[in-house]
């Protein structure tokens, strides 16, 4: 945490998410945005279900899940049939219901990610859309019956959805689809008091980001150009994600909330 003000300490101590159950998909390591979100949810009192991609990822994720006292720790590759269903089956058996589900995953094959959108392959585009966008729809469908007292679904987007960010390439249209998905799901689930949001962080040094060409340039430009003049960190993203799940945001749904130090307002 980089904010030690009395207000933020008080908010954290008030444990506003006490008794809430949160699924977090997308922790790869201690730099992951999903880890920042899970840590803040936990500090605010939530019980956690944390997933890991596969056996190769497990040794990096397991100590973090343990540190956060996760009640559920399960494998989940959203591209493999049955994986998401198994996680939700475990949630149903262990908890019986769910309040928060956070999707913080994205993938595109390297050659598609690093080339022009114009040159992206059929298969590369399909995989990127499936893992980074349609899996959010599948997650929402499985969460719906467990969110019988309402809930919040969250997805991670990026400014490249709305403006052209050089080197973001095919992820631009994929994130645009994700943000639109958030709005349509918000519409379809509103009467069940399930709120749906995209969170759009400024650039952060994570493993996924290291797959983008010239990402360091994006980071240094963010520091130079953002009104707040500093990079965001994963706890900043976690605090905003947490806010969206609380009664403070109970009349908000379908939004894309930027956590970028104001970078996206700049021409």
Q: Give the catalytic positions in this structure.
A: 158, 168
Q: How far is the CB of 177 from ligand NAD (least distance, A)?
A: 13
Q: 243, 88, 50, 44: which is closest to 152 by C-alpha?
A: 243
Residues that contact ligand NAD, how many (by CB under 6 A): 27
The CA distances from residue 17 to 90, 97, 163, 181, 242, in Å, are: 21, 15, 34, 26, 8
Q: What are the residues whose beta carbons fall under 8 Å from the beta carbon of 83, sequence distance 6 or more?
A: 75, 76, 77
Part in contact with ligand NAD (CB under 6 A); list of ranges 3-11, 39-47, 101-109, 242-250 = 101-109
Of 23, 101, 106, 147, which lies in the binding site for ligand NAD, with binding defined by CB under 6 A? 106
Q: Does 78 bind ligand NAD (CB under 6 A)?
A: yes
How wide is the angle at C-alpha 154 spanned by C-alphas 244 and 204, nearest 5°? 90
Q: How far is the CB of 171 from ligand NAD (least distance, A)?
A: 7
Angstrom distance (rounded) from CA 253 to CA 185: 10
Q: What are the residues whose beta carbons fall under 8 Å from the beta carbon of 248, sequence distance 6 or more?
A: none
Identity of the residue, 14 or 80, whose beta carbon is nearer to ligand NAD in the bound complex: 80
Q: Footprint of ligand NAD on residues 115-154 (CB under 6 A)?
A: 131
Q: Does 204 bind ligand NAD (CB under 6 A)?
A: yes
Of 133, 194, 208, 231, which lies in the binding site for ligand NAD, with binding defined by CB under 6 A? 208
Q: Does 113 bind ligand NAD (CB under 6 A)?
A: no
Positions touching ligand NAD (CB under 6 A) are 26-28, 31-34, 53, 57, 76-79, 104-107, 131, 156, 158, 201, 203-204, 206-209
């Amino acid at each position: 945490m980089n904010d030690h003000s009395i207000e933020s300490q008080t908010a954290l101590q008030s444990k506003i998410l006490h008794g809430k159950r949160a699924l977090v998909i997308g922790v790869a390591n201690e730099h992951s945005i999903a880890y920042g979100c899970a840590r803040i949810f936990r500090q605010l009192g939530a019980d956690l279900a944390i997933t890991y991609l596969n056996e190769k990822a497990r040794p990096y994720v397991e100590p973090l899940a343990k540190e956060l006292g996760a009640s559920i720790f399960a494998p989940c590759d959203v591209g493999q049939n049955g994986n998401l269903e198994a996680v939700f089956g475990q949630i149903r058996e262990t908890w019986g219901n769910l309040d928060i589900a956070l999707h913080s995953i994205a993938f595109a094959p390297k050659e598609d990610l690093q080339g022009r959108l114009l040159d992206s392959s059929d298969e590369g585009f399909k995989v990127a859309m499936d893992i980074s966008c349609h899996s959010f729809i599948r997650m929402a469908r499985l969460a719906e019956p467990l969110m019988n007292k309402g809930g919040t679904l969250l997805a991670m987007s990026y400014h490249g959805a709305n403006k052209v960010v050089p080197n973001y390439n095919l992820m631009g249209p994929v994130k645009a689809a994700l943000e639109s998905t958030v709005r349509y799901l918000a519409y379809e689930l509103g009467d069940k008091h399930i709120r749906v949001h995209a969170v759009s962080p400024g650039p952060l040094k994570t493993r996924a980001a290291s797959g983008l060409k010239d990402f360091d340039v994006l980071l240094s430009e963010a520091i130079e150009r953002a009104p707040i003049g500093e990079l965001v960190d994963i706890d900043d993203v976690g605090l905003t994600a947490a806010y969206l799940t609380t009664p403070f945001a109970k009349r908000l749904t379908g939004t894309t909330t930027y956590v970028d130090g104001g970078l996206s307002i700049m021409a």
